[in-house]
Amino acid sequence: MSAPTDTTESLFDQAMGRYQGGAPAAEVIDDFLAITAQAPRLSAAWTCLSWLQLLDDQPELGLRSARTAVKLNPQDPQARINLCLAMLDTGAKGVREHIDLVLRVTAMAPELSRDLQGSIADGLRRKPGWRSLEKVRDWLQG
């Protein structure tokens, strides 16, 4: 039974490595689609998929993936940030409650705040002028 998990972890690590190595979001999306198909309850894969979809100007798909990630792991601040971005990019309402939750979580776990700041910097590097991400960054900085 552990073989699929090991395989999924390996695929996840490889896909993350490609992304962190500079591969464009569009080139890594299929990897995460395969991972989420193979391990549909792996919230981290849904979080990554939503981020990639948002970077690749697929806000509707990113919204669906982010909702799945948040449903699977409601305390994950990155999943919540992705959901906020997707909501802003699609014009959905209710962003503030998710921002407030992220602020509460990061106040209790400052290392998560550093991770989010790194993610935001990465997003702005890969997609300069991403207005929704700039808004979220400003809200998180107070």
Q: Distance from first CA to last CA of the chain, Å, rounded?
A: 46
Q: Give percent above pLDDT 70 in the chain.
A: 96
Mean pLDDT of 102-123: 92
Please classify residue 141 by burial: count the beta carbons closer than 10 Å to its beta carbon, then call 0-12 exposed, 13-18 middle and 19+ buried: exposed
Instruction: Characterise 135 by phi-psi region: left (phi > 0), alpha (psi -120 to 50), beta (else).
Output: alpha
The residue to which tokens 């699929």 are assigned: 4
- 112 or 129: whose pLDDT is higher? 129
pLDDT, one tens digit per residue, over 68-89 is 999 999 999 999 999 999 999 9
Q: Can you tell me the distance from the alpha carbon of 103 to that of 4, in angstroms, rounded to the nearest whole number?
A: 35
Domain spanning 2-141: CATH superfamily: Tetratricopeptide repeat domain (1.25.40.10)
Report whether pLDDT(29) > 50: yes
Report whether pLDDT(31) > 70: yes
Please classify residue 36 by burial: count the beta carbons closer than 10 Å to its beta carbon, then call 0-12 exposed, 13-18 middle and 19+ buried: buried
In this prediction, residue 5 carries a pLDDT of: 63
Alpha-carbon torsion, ordered 34, 35, 38, 40, to 10 deg: -120
The overall average pLDDT reported for the chain is 93
Helix (H, G, I), strand (E, B) or coil at 24: coil
| Domain ranges for the chain | 2-141
> In which band, very low, low, confident or very high, does the pLDDT at 4 lie, cut at 50, 70 and 90?
very low
